[in-house]
A and B are shown apart, each in its own frame.
Chain A
């Protein structure tokens, strides 16, 4: 635990990433402590999603280091990172529309015995037991996300907001140590958003999960996060507790277009 607090859950050090002539991320650094809820805000095109992709291994940084639980993971493949407990969601929600809602959920758990061909016959009992456990867990999560009545529907039949919810529920189903949420509340109605906010805090309290959240809904992010980084043109231009960030001139500039 001592080392945990010293090392932190995640640290990003001087990360660069260019696409052609555009420097999407330019010397970005940030840190997420164990069990922290950190916000990442900034105008469109600030490099937030690119940074997410780099952290989760979907893009390789040109320069810089990413440390997850103290280990440099800049070269680690994305599925390995997910296996270690770093799970991301996508900005444009990626519910698997040709699978049912329940199947979407059942896909998520790590280390399923039935994902190995031989186990399907050799360890049939364990596979079945694990499936039942996972199904029970999926059902309770779906209930929490107001999706339970839709569990046997194809995810393609869901509304935009519901797909977003399903994706978040699926990510939580994977039991991550750290969750990267890309605009989790966009398209979600305020009542449910408030409920999810409570649930995120719950996951932190009870499971020690850490969060890094991109969100444009300012009241929401101010209420939820311990600490906020403001990104503009690929750089961190300000960071601090919600109150500090709210009062920062540079943040107002970046968001209001330098008025």
Chain B
């Protein structure tokens, strides 16, 4: 009997770990999009969550109206990319801070639209009852869906990572790094800086849109509160923690962040604090750790000191 309980606990533990890794992998994809924008190109996007929301809602809405899953995911990425491009047109010719202001506003507009356009999004009630990729097949094979989906997400994460690495190490990526440092130089050498920035914003938003699709499949229920501004800053924490301009670091940062979240969730049981207090304490600890990191290793865990974007 004791033996069976042990197996049961062991299995729940494994389930839990897979779930944590699954969420971390989705946020790692999300953060890779931001790293392309901020880490490699120096674009300050404070509204990255908008594209996560667009991705999630587009996937779910198309799915609910009977569009096949692969098509709805592709459509989500395209719509997120289109919105990113449209947002870039009026802002990317201005100074960097304007993009920051416009994106943060855009993210809130999207969230409030999702909240208020009830005819489309059912507002605060949220959306559910949509299908997930290969659901019937996995059930038929008696496999664990979360494990299967984790492997799918992991595969997509690896693909995103490889594609981004290839891009960054190409002449195209070299132009991005030159824009990050001083856009007058690439301009004086005949590079259309505006075109590159638009491309980056479109690509970064498409990646966020893809992460949104995956998040929707994982959650099985989405509502506008999944897409508060704080989520953008989870991506920022992952990027800064791991090292801006380093894709490995960004992935590592995302995994550290979500491991930390889940460990502190365990600690809840032992701490004499209410869940609200615990939530606030977690954010405080992350803030404190980031301050300490910035003091002693401002380039992040895997970043290169010589490539630090902000001068000390």
Contacts and interface: CB of A to CB of B under 8 A. Distances in A.
B174 A110 contact: no
A107 B186 contact: yes
A107 B174 contact: yes
Interface in B174-221: 174-175, 177-178, 180-182, 184-193, 199
Contacts of B144: none
B166 interface: yes
Contacts of A131: 171
B174 A170 contact: no
Contacts of A174: 189-190
A79 B178 contact: no
A79 B192 CA distance: 6
Given A98-B181, A117-B172, A108 B189 contact: yes
B84 to A, nearest CB: 15
B171 A114 contact: yes
A156 B311 CA distance: 12
B170 interface: yes
Contacts, number: 90
A98 B306 contact: yes
Q: Give the residue among A107, A112, A156 with the most B Cβ atoms within 10 A.
A: A107
A98 B174 contact: no
A58 B177 CA distance: 21
B284 interface: no
A80 B194 CA distance: 12
Contacts of B184: 58, 90, 94
A120 B190 contact: no
A95 to B, nearest CB: 8
A88 B167 contact: no
A79 B178 CA distance: 14
A156 to B, nearest CB: 6
Given A78-B188, A94-B182, A94-B185, A99 B174 contact: yes
Nearest to B185: A94
Nearest to A157: B306
A78 B189 contact: no
A78 B182 CA distance: 15
Contacts of B174: 99, 103, 106-107
A97 B304 CA distance: 13
A90 B188 contact: yes
A127 B188 contact: no
A99 B178 contact: yes
Contacts of A145: none
Contacts of A66: none
A139 interface: no
Nearest to A134: B171
Interface in A80-113: 80, 82-83, 87-90, 94, 96-99, 103, 106-108, 110, 112-113
A123 to B, nearest CB: 11
B195 to A, nearest CB: 9
A115 B175 CA distance: 8
Interface size class of B (residues with CB under 8 A): 20 to 34
A120 B189 contact: no
A82 B171 contact: no
Interface in B261-309: 306-309
A117 B181 contact: no
A82 B181 contact: no
A112 B171 contact: yes
Contacts of A170: 189
Given A78-B188, A107-B175, A97 B193 contact: no
A133 B14 CA distance: 53
A197 to B, nearest CB: 23
Contacts of B186: 79, 107
B178 A107 contact: yes
Interface in A104-146: 106-108, 110, 112-117, 120-121, 127, 131
Q: Give the residue among A96, A112, A116 with the most B Cβ atoms within 10 A.
A: A96
B190 A110 contact: yes
B167 A120 contact: yes
A94 B178 CA distance: 11
Given A98-B177, A106-B171, A112-B171, A117 B199 contact: yes
Contacts of B193: 79
Contacts of B181: 96-99
A72 B193 CA distance: 23
Contacts of A156: 306
A156 B306 CA distance: 8
19 contacts: A82-B187, A82-B188, A82-B189, A82-B190, A83-B190, A87-B188, A90-B188, A96-B177, A97-B181, A98-B181, A107-B178, A110-B190, A112-B171, A114-B170, A115-B171, A117-B167, A120-B167, A127-B171, A170-B189
Question: 9 smallest A-B Cβ distances: which pairs?
Answer: A114-B171, A82-B190, A83-B190, A154-B306, A112-B171, A120-B170, A98-B307, A114-B170, A115-B171
Given A89-B188, A115-B175, A154-B306, 7 more contacts: A79-B191, A80-B190, A87-B189, A103-B174, A110-B189, A112-B171, A120-B166
